[in-house]
A = this chain, B = another copy of it.
Amino acid sequence: MTTIDRASLIPALKNVATRLRIDSLRSTSEAGSGHPTTCCSMADFTAALFFAEMRFDPKDPHNTDADRLVLSKGHAAPILYAAWAEAGAFDRAELMNLRKIDSDLEGHPTPRLPFVDVATGSLGQGICAAIGTALNARRIKSDYRTYVILGDGESAEGSVWEAADVGAIDGLDTICGITDVNGLGQSRATMWGHDMEALAGRWRAFGWHAIVIDGHDMGAILDALAEARRTKGRPTMILARTIKGKGVSFVEGKDGWHGKAFKKGEELDRALSELEKQFVPAPPGVNLPASIPKPAARPRGVDTPKPMAPPAYKLGEEIATREAYGVALAKLGEADARVVALDADVKNSTFSDKFEKVFPERFYENFIAEQVMVGAAMGLAARGAIPFPSTFACFLSRACDFIRMAAISNVGIKMAGSHAGVSIGEDGPSQMALEDLAMCRAEPNITVVYPCDGVSAEKLVGLMAYHPGPAYMRTSRPKTPVIYKNDETFTIGGLKVLRESASDAATVVGAGVTVFEALKAYDTLKAQGTNIRVIDLYSVQPVDKAGLIAAGKATGGVIITVEDHYAAGGIGDAVAEAVAEAGLTVKRIAVREIPRSGKPEELLDRFGISASHIVDAVVSSRQSSASSRQSPVGSR
């Protein structure tokens, strides 16, 4: 909080707000696109936040103890940039490069900018990330506060109310939200228009302290921020009644101006000339940027991670990879204090409860709310934690858009999805993840690992924790035998050749439960006199391209993939792209229709991914290769 006296502060802030409006208009008009009117509605409280409330160093936005600001309504990026420029983070002239390909001042904020923790622009996500930055303050015992600016239209997103629940139940009183209630969405008025009490009632019902103000009354803004700061035990939401386009009379409160830049020339000039007239006389000697309170350079012990305790399994011992995940997570938590876990009311199925039992203060229960779980993990990761959010793999799809934004943010969330595939059995298709590999592989920077046994699960938890960027581990429900020794080494981008000979007729690539189907097929075929090469593709993204090509070439070009996943976007596609440049093709064995309830082994067989289907594929590949030797090429 600033120490400038209120009589001097208010006119100075008003002038900042006017300048932010001008900069928002000028930069968007220069870009030829953008959202100036939604910047105008929030200009007054943005000025107050930056120059009378927040503690930060414009030259060191990453400071551990600096207050955080999340612009959940990411389309208002121009005013965020204008405010940081006004604070001195960079030269104001740079604002004129808004939205240009070589500027980091993008259409919506991304962490390419040092003052942005997570990318926003998909509405309803920023407040979830704010939960994470607030949890992080508690984790590192810092008193920094988290501010988050929402749109009113945005408040229709269910994820906002997931965050509301978690913020209240966790008592996150360091969060101060401000909703910019300008009453207008993109295509029409919002559900609530300017019914401030309708919105305030919701926040109160969800356990927040809610304050309704005129968002253009600078005194009221300062009072509300002070009240939020005084409010303990629960977060505060300030509902600021504002006018979209405020300050430019011919667009104020008008529909049809969402996401439209003012046309350079007469239209822009008219708007700017109105705004220029709104500067008020301000007392001399007030230097707002210089008055911003800086975070103390608080010395902190560095958390040096220790080596993680090695796995302690016996070969052949049966353990589900989901359980081994939990064992590993607890060990990792012991080795590294930055590790935290989040779950969505299935901790006793994902086995994240093994971590909770040892580190209850680093475990965050999000109840059945996967969006805020992943969103909070994004905020935690952006501030230095190593968060492992876990749930059933199929329910991570609930947070698909958050995962997309985590990829854009390139934050190190380490997701774990259990109960993959039809091998879960009787619970049926609603609980089976059969598209999770496709979802995570689609993002070019998400690492995807998929252990088949306890040892690989443990080792891969350790690897994914420190591999840069987002990562995803897929685990299985059934128990599987341990096939690796406790000192086996794994790498991101590696694979294991489990069976090989000089006379292999085919390479069979499995992962997770299908590794064991491939091994069964190996035994069956071996008994019939046919050798196959069996690969455990525990690293699904990236894949070991050279290893796959070498195996394929050594086995007559026959590569068969088998996966407990639908055919598109999974292991088959990953392997196929990897080997394509060597001219090799892949026969994909995968689930190809909507499955149903049944016993795991029945389902593996019914849906075509059991050992017998692998045997059939190998045999038929031999027959077709024999027949192609007999018939002229190209005759089909």
Contact = CB atoms under 8 A, between A and B. Distances in A.
A384 interface: no
Contact of A428 (B107, B190, B428): B107
Interface stretch (A133-141, A431-439, A460-468): A431-439
B594 A445 contact: yes
Nearest to A407: B594
A121 B428 contact: yes
A112 B636 CA distance: 40
Nearest to A112: B596
A456 B353 CA distance: 53
Interface string A591-603: 1111011110011
A587 B580 contact: yes
Contact of A576 (B161, B576, B591): B576
Contact of A435 (B165, B345, B439, B567): B439
Interface in A9-36: 31-34
A28 to B, nearest CB: 10
A442 to B, nearest CB: 4
A465 to B, nearest CB: 22
A430 B108 contact: yes
Interface string A146-189: 00000001101111111001000100000000000000011110
A573 B603 CA distance: 26
A426 interface: yes
A31 B103 CA distance: 61
A32 B103 CA distance: 60
A94 to B, nearest CB: 14
A598 B407 contact: no
Contact of A634 (B100, B426, B553): B553
Contact of A153 (B345, B398, B580): B345
Nearest to A408: B429
Nearest to A606: B101
B441 A568 contact: yes
A428 B158 contact: no
Given A122-B395, A153-B345, A442-B568, 6 more contacts: A157-B398, A202-B205, A394-B401, A434-B442, A438-B568, A445-B594
Please name the 6 residue pairs, one residue from A and one from B, whose CB atoms are nearest each other, closest first.
A158-B158, A121-B430, A101-B598, A400-B400, A569-B569, A435-B442
28 contacts: A34-B426, A101-B597, A108-B427, A110-B429, A119-B429, A121-B428, A124-B158, A124-B368, A157-B162, A158-B160, A158-B371, A185-B345, A187-B343, A187-B353, A395-B401, A398-B400, A408-B594, A410-B594, A435-B439, A438-B439, A439-B442, A441-B568, A445-B593, A553-B634, A568-B574, A573-B573, A581-B587, A583-B585
